[in-house]
């Protein structure tokens, strides 16, 4: 079965079979996707994480299909209808739609009109009608056959009742016929239209869906965001959504298949075909296309969410600096927390620089004292209510004005979720939710990745209709994305939280907790080798995780790099050949020595994990910049001082902004007026843009021109063209 899977995956993804087989073998051996992509390049031919994840996903789908086929075979066999030919067709089919079409006539179902007719002995009459309708000329009079099927004891009192029962059987046969289903399905693929109408009486309550009160377009052209919006309106009882093909063409094709003459039998069969199409076949295909279009829309929405989440998690960190964080507010004041360079809470307070209290001088004095006492290096301000006013207040303070303390505005999305979570209660059992939320705002500035892993990704607010898509697939994709980002960056095993360690390749919640417990009992780790002393850290877990765990200032300088312990011997041999220490090869000071290394001398095909050119290139790159953080440097940003409310915005203005969300129809940009403006995909560049992600990234600083301000609907249309 593995060979069949590899062949099918190879064809689907256009990846050579050998590489697919290598990935499947590694996955079956318990290797993780980050480990395979980083440390098994020779085996996979250099496949990246996306390709490996695609192989894994395709394998899971094929395994699910294989299990489904087994169920189908068993069900048909129990009915005594499993022929050798039917078994062969099922075993050779790897198309879900085709498989379900084959199975449909045998699938257990509730008692149907056709079943009742069969119980009355009317199936031979149905077959007679079909045969007569498909002959060039009908030469057997129907009237001569009907008396054979009139049987009051079986519930057939008249000839008309016999004909009606036979037509019910024909209708079901038409609806379950593979060729008929394929014909209607092809019509839907080409001509299907999706329509939405407002439910009578819901006009006032459903204004957010008013664009879809009377909407119609080809299903094949309906983008994911529009389909999901209509489905949400339907779920909320505001819209009625339907999908349909071209009924006339469908009926023409079905009659061509089942009715070949105009005899009495032919006309009866034509009526049965029409009934089967309208009552059974059409609703079935409509449901199928509703489901498949929703699945495609889900996949697109999840793809966008994953891309946004990846960009958010990989946002530039400030690093280990002493931070003062502010969670802004008006009536309740601004919660202030002071954090040390490791993110530990040192102090918390509340200031009231805004109305209604307006204790401006007192707030200013408090800030001055805290910055001095805790030697604050940066200030982090949440972007929620009163954010602009708080930023203006902070930028007017002396230590900010002279440039000694930098100011940053960070996203609050998910902070309230974190502050009320068990994670936050465990971290700060004696503090309330306002303090926990402010701490999260501060830590997000220092290291967004380390803080955001504590929050359910679907609560972070960078998706599109995330509550409407398949939640199982969404969670799988988001978890995989978080794991990918954490392992790309790597973590310091002596400072990482349990939540961050959980996402490291090969660990999981139990081993992550065991590492934290070992650290608490024995102090800091001095080497990666010491990780083997952690409870339940077996050889496989160590192999999968060690390369992503950093030990700063440890016994071995390679322990603070992405060089895997299994490859240490290569670096040691390089150092021996050059007559130097391993530490002499690391960083800028080792550039001259590294230049003398000939990687070809260290290529080996021996052992279970041969060292090839790809691995050697990675090793040399890591020696040049050991433990390099792949994230960009953080830059300061300031909104326009002249624009604070939507009423201040005028068409034609050019404003600085921050990209806060990216969809497949454009990007939302915060220009500091509490309303995110939309840059439609057509306004993103002076060229055609298919994917907004090719133009902007999350949290990117951009300049935008105001196209339109809609105060009534609270909407802002922006453009990046020519700015």
Q: Which pLDDT band holds residue 698 (cuts at 50, 70, 90)?
A: confident
Give yes or no: residues 120 and 177 share one domain. yes
On whether the CB atoms of residues 330 and 433 are closer than 8 A, the answer is: no
Mean pLDDT score, 170-194 = 96
* Residue 222 domain flag: yes
Bigger pLDDT: 631 vs 574: 574
Mean pLDDT score, 181-206 = 94
Q: Which residue do the tokens 């929620």 mark?
A: 384
pLDDT for 367 equals 96
DSSP for 293-306, written as a single string: HHHHHHHHHHHHHH
Instruction: Please say which residue of 305, 334, 363 terminates a domain.
Output: 305
Beta strands at 715-719 and 701-710: parallel, antiparallel or unpaired: antiparallel
DSSP H or E segment with residue 485:
helix 471-489
Q: Which pLDDT band holds residue 608 (cuts at 50, 70, 90)?
A: low
For residue 604, list its beta bridge partners: 611
* The three-state (H, E, C) secondary structure of 217-231, written as one string: EEHHHCCHHHHHHHH
pLDDT for 127 equals 95
DSSP state of 156: B
Give yes or no: residues 411 and 270 share one domain. no
Q: Does the pLDDT at position 158 exceed 90? A: yes
Bigger pLDDT: 635 vs 20: 20
Q: Look at residues 143, 124, 161, 147 and name the one whose alpha carbon lies nearest to residue 263.
A: 143
**What CA–CA distance (Å, rounded) separates 720 from 699?**
15
Q: What is the pLDDT of residues 609-651, one digit of tens each?
A: 788 999 999 999 999 998 788 888 888 888 888 888 888 999 9
Give yes or no: residues 257 and 180 share one domain. yes
Mean pLDDT score, 584-600 = 92
DSSP for 392-458, written as a single string: HHHHTSHHHHTTSSEEEEE--TTHHHHHTSHHHHHH-TTS-HHHHHHHHHHHHHH-HHHHHTTS-GG
Q: What is the pLDDT of residues 281-300, one digit of tens each?
A: 999 999 999 999 999 999 99
On whether the CB atoms of residues 2 and 17 are closer than 8 A, the answer is: no
* Residue 456 domain flag: no
Tell me the average pLDDT of the chain.
93
pLDDT for 607 equals 67
Q: Does the pLDDT at position 88 exceed 60? A: yes
Give yes or no: residues 420 and 567 share one domain. no
Q: What is the pLDDT of residues 300-323, one digit of tens each?
A: 999 989 998 999 899 999 999 999
pLDDT for 706 equals 93
Q: What is the pLDDT of residues 8-17, one digit of tens each?
A: 999 999 999 9
Structural domain for 425, as ranges = 323-446
Q: Does the pLDDT at position 219 exceed 90? A: yes
Mean pLDDT score, 183-198 = 96
Give yes or no: residues 138 and 284 share one domain. yes
**What CA–CA distance (Å, rounded) separates 459 from 5?**
36
* Residue 662 domain flag: yes
What proportion of the chain, given as a percentage, has pLDDT over 70?
A: 99
Q: Does the pLDDT at position 136 exceed 80? A: no
Mean pLDDT score, 106-132 = 94
Bigger pLDDT: 344 vs 136: 344
**What CA–CA distance (Å, rounded) separates 619 from 567?**
8
Give yes or no: residues 90 and 183 share one domain. no
Q: Which pLDDT band holds residue 328 (cuts at 50, 70, 90)?
A: very high
Beta strands at 406-410 and 378-382: parallel, antiparallel or unpaired: parallel
Mean pLDDT score, 369-391 = 94
Mean pLDDT score, 239-262 = 95
Mean pLDDT score, 590-607 = 89
Q: Which pLDDT band holds residue 465 (cuts at 50, 70, 90)?
A: confident
Q: What is the pLDDT of residues 427-456, one digit of tens each?
A: 999 999 999 999 999 999 999 999 999 988
What proportion of the chain, given as a percentage, has pLDDT over 90?
A: 77
Mean pLDDT score, 540-552 = 96
Give yes or no: residues 167 and 64 share one domain. no
Give yes or no: residues 163 and 291 share one domain. yes
Give yes or no: residues 224 and 341 share one domain. no
pLDDT for 457 equals 82
Q: Which pLDDT band holds residue 138 (cuts at 50, 70, 90)?
A: low
* Residue 402 domain flag: yes
pLDDT for 94 equals 95
DSSP state of 655: E
pTM of the complete model: 0.86
pLDDT for 137 equals 63
Q: What is the pLDDT of residues 477-504, one digit of tens each?
A: 989 999 999 999 999 999 999 999 999 9
Instruction: Please say which residue of 81, 106, 131 terminates a domain.
Output: 106
Instruction: Please say which residue of 558, 592, 624 terminates a domain.
Output: 624
DSSP H or E segment with residue 708:
strand 701-710
| Structure tokens belonging to residue 18 | 């050998």
Number of structural domains in the chain:
5
Mean pLDDT score, 392-415 = 90
Give yes or no: residues 583 and 659 share one domain. no
Give yes or no: residues 418 and 442 share one domain. yes
Torsion of CA 371, 372, 375, 378, to 10 degrees: 30
Give yes or no: residues 527 and 578 share one domain. yes
Beta strand extents in 23-134 (DSSP E only): none
* Residue 639 domain flag: no
Q: Does the pLDDT at position 505 exceed 90? A: yes
**What CA–CA distance (Å, rounded) separates 547 from 555?**
16
CATH number, position 692:
2.40.50.140
Mean pLDDT score, 335-345 = 95
């Amino acid at each position: 079965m593995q060979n069949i899977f590899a062949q099918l995956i190879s064809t689907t993804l256009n990846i050579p079979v050998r590489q697919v087989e290598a990935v499947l073998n590694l996955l079956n051996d318990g290797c993780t996707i980050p480990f395979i992509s980083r440390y098994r390049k020779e085996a996979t031919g250099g496949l990246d994480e996306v390709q490996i994840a695609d192989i894994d996903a395709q394998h899971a789908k094929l395994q699910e299909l294989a299990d489904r086929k087994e169920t189908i075979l068993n069900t048909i066999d129990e009915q005594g209808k499993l022929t050798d030919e039917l078994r062969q067709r099922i075993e050779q089919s790897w198309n879900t739609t085709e498989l379900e079409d084959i199975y449909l006539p045998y699938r257990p179902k509730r008692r149907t009109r056709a079943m009742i007719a069969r119980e009355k002995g009317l199936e031979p009459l149905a077959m007679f009608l079909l045969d007569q309708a498909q002959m060039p000329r009908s030469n057997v009079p129907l009237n001569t056959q009907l008396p054979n099927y009139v049987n009051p004891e079986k519930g057939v009192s008249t000839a008309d009742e016999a004909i009606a029962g036979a037509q019910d059987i024909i209708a079901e046969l038409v609806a379950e016929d593979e060729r008929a289903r394929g014909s209607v399905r092809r019509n839907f693929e080409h001509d299907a239209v999706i329509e939405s109408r407002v439910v009578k009486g819901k006009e006032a309550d459903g204004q957010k869906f008013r664009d879809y009160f009377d909407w119609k377009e080809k299903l094949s052209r309906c983008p994911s965001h529009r389909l999901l919006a209509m489905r949400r309106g339907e779920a909320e009882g505001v819209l009625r959504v339907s999908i349909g093909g071209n009924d006339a063409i469908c009926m023409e094709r079905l009659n061509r298949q089942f009715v070949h003459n105009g005899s009495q039998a032919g006309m009866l069969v034509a009526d049965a075909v029409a009934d089967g199409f309208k009552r059974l076949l059409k609703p079935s295909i409509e449901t199928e296309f509703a489901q498949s279009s929703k699945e495609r829309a889900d996949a697109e929405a999840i793809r966008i969410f994953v891309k946004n989440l990846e960009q958010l998690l990989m946002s530039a960190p400030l690093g280990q600096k002493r931070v003062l964080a502010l969670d802004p507010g008006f009536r309740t004041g601004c919660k202030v927390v002071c954090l040390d360079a490791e993110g530990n809470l040192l102090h918390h307070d509340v200031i009231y620089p805004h109305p209604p209290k307006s204790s401006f001088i007192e707030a200013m004095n408090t800030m001055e004292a805290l910055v001095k006492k805790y030697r604050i290096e940066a200030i982090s301000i949440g972007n929620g209510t009163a954010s602009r006013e708080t930023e203006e207040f902070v930028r007017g303070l002396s230590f900010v004005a002279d440039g000694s303390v930098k100011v940053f505005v960070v996203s609050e999305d998910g902070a309230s979720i974190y502050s009320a979570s068990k994670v936050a209660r465990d971290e700060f059992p004696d503090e309330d939710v306002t303090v926990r939320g402010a701490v999260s705002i501060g830590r997000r500035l220092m290291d967004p990745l380390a803080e955001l892993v504590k929050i359910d990704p679907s609560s972070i607010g960078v998706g599109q209709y995330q509550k409407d898509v398949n939640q199982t697939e969404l969670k799988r994709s988001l978890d995989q994305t978080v794991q990918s980002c954490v392992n790309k960056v790597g973590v310091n095993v002596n400072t990482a939280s349990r939540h961050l360690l959980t996402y490291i390749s090969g660990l999981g919640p139990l081993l992550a907790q065991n590492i934290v417990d070992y650290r608490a009992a024995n102090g800091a780790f001095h080497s990666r080798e010491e990780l083997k002393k952690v409870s339940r850290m077996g050889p496989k877990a160590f192999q999968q995780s060690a390369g992503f765990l950093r030990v700063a200032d440890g016994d071995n300088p390679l322990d603070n790099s992405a060089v895997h312990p299994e490859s240490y011997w290569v670096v040691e041999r390089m150092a021996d050949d050059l007559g130097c220490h391993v530490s002499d090869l690391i960083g800028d000071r080792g550039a001259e020595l590294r230049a003398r290394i000939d990687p070809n001398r260290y290529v080996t095909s021996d052992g279970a994990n041969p060292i090839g050119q790809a691995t050697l290139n990675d090793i040399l790159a890591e020696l040049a910049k050991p433990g390099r953080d792949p994230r960009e440097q953080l830059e300061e940003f300031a909104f326009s001082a002249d624009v604070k409310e939507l009423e201040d915005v005028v068409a034609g203005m050019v404003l600085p902004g921050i990209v806060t969300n990216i969809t497949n129809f454009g990007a939302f940009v915060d220009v500091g007026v509490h309303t995110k403006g939309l840059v439609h995909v057509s306004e993103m560049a002076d060229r055609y843009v298919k994917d907004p992600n090719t133009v902007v990234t999350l949290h990117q600083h951009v300049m935008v021109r105001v196209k339109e301000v809609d105060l009534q609907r609270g909407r802002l249309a922006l453009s990046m063209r020519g700015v």
